[in-house]
A and B are shown apart, each in its own frame.
Chain A
Amino acid sequence: MFSKLVNVPSGAMIPDRDIDKSPILECINLGITFGGLKAVENFNLTIGRTEIAGLIGPNGAGKTTVFNLLTKVYQPTKGTILLDGTDTHGMNTIQVNRAGIARTFQNIRLFSNLSVEDNVKAGMDNAMKYNMWEGIFRLPRYHKEEKIAHDRALELLSIFDMQDLASAKSGSLPYGAQRRLEIVRALATNPSLLLLDEPAAGMNPSETAELMENIRKIRDTFQIAVLLIEHDMKLVMNICEGICVLNFGHVIAKGSPEEIQANPAVIEAYLGKKKEA
């Protein structure tokens, strides 16, 4: 029912960039217009099966909008999204998740009245099979699946060493822990592509460093692709194998961290501005 959480030691052999072997995600000429505003236009991106990719750009560039397009919070006005080779045209948010995309949110969206454990278990709902009656009358399948879910929730929480917080109310967690819980909840859905929207926002440098390590560990352990939006350049350059730079809804550069750092257009649009400030 659930995929097994195998503990691959961090830093295990990961193929460099496996874009050329059938990619997990392919965006072709993706675009959306809000009223007259072209928030994202001609967006093309390919992500390998176990790649950590970064999506960067100044505020308002359209990064979150790309996530909303991928997860069908907005239906694209133009273009195609291929997830594992399948066109997601006509799918809604729920179906896209079932197809393998899970995400976190820039503005934290936890189930704040539920416990930490229940937030994670909610992510396993699709993997569960017992029906309403089995739940009401506490039939064997209820006990069996809830036990598995409980064990797996603690196991997933242990990635961030949060297993001791399992019974705490999620809304009462500190900010950083809430961000980490969002990642765990997304992982609970067994995604093949994990979208992280500014996962390090509001974290201090040591928390950020730890997060970086854990994102890598997640990729190594689950062998999934990660696409992350991040303002912390150090984090992005450090862990991303491929980076895509957005500005005013357009891709202005794509490449390895080294290529991006040397790209004049990027320096002007993004890094340059940073230096001035």
Chain B
Amino acid sequence: MKKKFRAAGKTARSNFLTFGIVVAAYIIIMALQSGGMISSAMSGLMVPICAYIVMAVSLNLTVGIMGNLSLGHAGFMSVGAFVGVITAMSLQASIPSGPLRLALSMAVGGLCAGIVSLIVVIPVLRLQGDYLAIVTLAFGEIIKNIVNCLYVGLDKNGLHFTMKNAMALNLDAATGKKIMQGPMGAVGITKLSSLTAGFILIILSLIVVLNLINSRAGRAIMSLRDNRIAAESIGISPARYKIMAFVTSAVLAGMAGTLYAMNFSSILAKKFDFNTSILVLVFVVLGGMGNIRGSIIAAAVLTVLPEMLRQFADYRMLIYAIVLILVMLITNNPRTKQLLAKIRSPKSGKEETEHVL
């Protein structure tokens, strides 16, 4: 009896710690910021950090929990970013409240990313490993290229879309406003994002992802990952659960995209390319597959690190790369892994070795 409560308590405690870290970090940063103790460069990083954390947490759902390598996560971020920007600009007149407009834009951005993911989920259901990686990579590139030649404008008649050029938008001369200008990206964005908005989005994504993992859906998704044939033999349908996890992951990425885009006055499609997908994947791998807290910490540290290394000028990225390699080596070393496990819970560490024997 005691044992079972300890087991149930373990995940609950772990999740509680994850939330605790996020809340504590938020309070400390807010305090430091109001005391003027954070440089403006660092302050500018706060929203991107939040966006990357949500990206990493949501990608971990696909890669770590579901076990499907995805190289196109930035594609969903891109959809969310530009749809969010268009939504926010369209609502500018009708909804004066900034936070409400941001929340609505995020919802629409996330929704659209989710709809787009329904197309990508088809190969996800059929392919594995390298093949799936290539398909998702291609998806990311397709999104980037579509956004790159998309022109969107707004006038008194509503939204105008074209793939040709700015002139083809046929905007009303007096009330017309260009929102997206092909390769020049989205321009004239009213900055709505804030650290608080980012914090709320992180908490929301944690509630969704952690509770999803610790429910029947998470169990089913992980059992499909561990052994598909056995999972089917006990009646678990791969399609249903994989769609659930993949779409959830995409919706969160879309919301992160809106948050990210609404932090700048202009934004390019290039911002959400293959490199961004890889960057987020690095956060996930470094933080540990399936380890949500690890993803959060890795995303925050690795986004701040280049900024901290600015004084090393040209050697910045070199040092960044070396740090990455070192961390990978250390965290994947069996000895340090054992040591870390011991530090985390000396009792359960012993238990586990007993079972192996």
Residues of A with Cβ closer than 8 Å to B? 71, 73, 92-94, 97-98, 102-103, 105, 109-115, 117-119, 121-123, 125-126, 128, 130, 132, 135-138, 142, 145-146, 150, 154, 164-169, 172-174, 185-186, 188-189
The stretch that binds A, out of B27-35, B233-241, B274-282, is B233-241
Measured in the bound complex, the distance between the Cα atoms of B231 and A123 in whole Å is 8
Residue B7 at the A interface, CB < 8 A?
Answer: yes
The residue in chain A whose Cβ has the minimal distance to the Cβ of B226 is A111
Chain B residue nearest to A169 in the complex (CB): B352
Interface positions of B (Cβ within 8 A of A)? 3-4, 6-8, 10, 207-208, 211-212, 215-217, 219-220, 222-223, 225-227, 229-237, 244, 290, 351-352, 355-356
B222 to A97, Cβ gap below 8 A? Answer: no
Contacts of B290 in A (CB 8 A): 113
Instruction: Enumerate chain A residues within 8 angstroms of B225, measured Cβ to Cβ.
Output: 113
Q: Which residues of chain B have C-beta atoms less than 8 A from A94's C-beta?
A: 232, 235-237
Asked whether, in the complex, the Cβ of B208 is within 8 Å of the Cβ of A136, the reply is: yes
Enumerate chain B residues within 8 angstroms of A93, measured Cβ to Cβ.
229, 232-233
Besides A94-B236, A135-B212, 12 more A-B contacts (Cβ < 8 Å) are: A105-B230, A109-B229, A109-B233, A114-B219, A115-B7, A118-B222, A130-B215, A132-B217, A132-B244, A146-B215, A146-B216, A164-B3
Known: A117-B7, A135-B216. A168 touches B355 (CB 8 A): yes
Is B355 a contact of A173 with CB atoms below 8 Å?
A: yes
B290's closest neighbor in chain A, by CB?
A: A113
Residues of the A chain whose Cβ atoms lie less than 8 Å from the Cβ of B220: 122, 125
* A111-B231, A125-B235, A167-B4 known; A136+B223 contact, CB < 8 A: no
Given A109-B227, A125-B235, A167-B10, decide whether A135 and B217 contact each other with a Cβ distance below 8 A.
yes
Q: When the two chains form their complex, are residues B216 and A125 in contact, meaning their CB atoms are under 8 A apart?
A: yes
Q: Is the CB of B4 within 8 A of A188?
A: no
Say whether B4 contacts A111, CB under 8 Å. no
Which 6 A-B pairs have CB atoms at the shortest separation, nearest pair first?
A135-B215, A167-B7, A109-B230, A97-B235, A111-B226, A93-B232
Q: Is the CB of B234 within 8 A of A102?
A: yes
* Chain A contacts for B6, CB-based, 8 A: 167
Q: Are B4 and A154 in contact (CB under 8 A)?
A: yes
Whether B226 lies near A125 (C-beta < 8 A) is no
Chain B residues near A142 (CB-CB < 8 A):
215
Give, as a whole number of angstroms, the nearest-CB distance from B168 to chain A.
42
User: What's the minimum C-beta distance from B235 to chain A, rounded to whole angstroms?
Assistant: 4
The smallest beta-carbon distance between B354 and chain A, in angstroms, is 9
- Nearest Cβ on chain B to A10's Cβ, whole angstroms: 25
Q: Give A195's nearest chain B residue, CB to CB.
A: B233
Residues of B within 8 A of A112 (CB): 226-227
- A125-B234, A138-B211 known; A167 and B219 CB under 8 Å? no
Given the interface contacts A113-B222, A113-B226, does A126 sit within 8 Å of B7 by beta carbon?
Answer: no
Contacts of B236 in A (CB 8 A): 94, 122, 125-126
User: Nearest CB to that of A101 among chain B residues?
Assistant: B233
B230 touches A110 (CB 8 A): yes
Q: How far is the CA of A185 from the CA of B236 in the complex (A)?
A: 12
Q: Tell me which of B10, B212, B351 contacts A136 (CB under 8 A).
A: B212
Min CB distance B226 to A, Å, is 4
A173 to B352, CA, bound (A): 9
Cβ of B212 and Cβ of A110 under 8 Å apart?
no
Name A68's closest neighbour in chain B (CB-CB).
B229
Identify 26 residue pairs between A and B in the complex whose beta-carbon atoms are under 8 Å apart, listed by A's number. Answer: A93-B233, A94-B232, A94-B235, A94-B236, A102-B233, A102-B234, A109-B230, A110-B226, A110-B230, A111-B222, A113-B222, A113-B225, A114-B219, A118-B219, A118-B223, A121-B219, A122-B219, A122-B234, A125-B235, A128-B216, A136-B207, A166-B4, A166-B7, A172-B355, A188-B234, A189-B235
CA distance A125 to B224 in the complex (A): 12
* A106→B180 CA distance, assembly (Å): 59
A172 vs B229: C-alpha distance when bound (angstroms)? 20
How far apart are the CA atoms of A117 and B215 in the complex, in Å? 13
Q: CA A224 – CA B7 in complex, angstroms? A: 32
| B8 contacts across to A, CB distance below 8 A | 150
- Which residue of the partner chain, among B211, B212, B223, B244, contacts A114 with CB atoms under 8 Å? B223
Q: Which residues of B contact A165 (CB under 8 A)?
A: 355
With a cutoff of 8 Å between Cβ atoms, the chain B residues found around residue A132 in the complex are: 212, 215, 217, 244
Give complex CA distance A126, B231 in Å: 11
With A166-B3, A172-B352, A189-B234 known as contacts, the answer to whether A114 contacts B216 (CB < 8 A) is no
- The answer on a CB contact under 8 Å between B226 and A185 is no
B216-A130 in contact (CB<8A): yes
Task: Determine which residue in B7, B220, B234, B244 has the highest number of CB atoms from chain A within 10 A of its CB, and name it.
Answer: B234
Flag if B222 contacts A114 (CB, 8 Å).
yes
B231 contacts across to A, CB distance below 8 A: 111, 122
Q: Which residue of A lies closest to B67 (CB)?
A: A113
- Give B79 Cβ to nearest chain A Cβ, in Å: 22
Q: How far is the CA of A103 from the CA of B229 in the complex (A)?
A: 11
Known: A110-B227, A172-B355. A98 touches B7 (CB 8 A): no
A97 engages B355 (CB within 8 Å):
no
A111 and B233 form a contact (CB under 8 A): no
Are B244 and A172 in contact, with the CB atoms below 8 A?
Answer: no
Q: Return chain B residues, CB-CB under 8 Å to A125.
A: 216, 219-220, 234-236
Identity of the chain A residue whose Cβ is nearest the Cβ of B248 in the assembled complex? A132
Q: A122-B223, A166-B4 are in contact. Are A136 and B211 (CB under 8 A)?
A: yes
Q: Do A123 and B352 touch across chains, with their CB atoms under 8 A apart? A: no
- Decide if B355 touches A111 in the complex (CB within 8 Å): no
Chain B residues whose CB sits within 8 angstroms of the CB of A105 once the complex forms: 229-230, 233
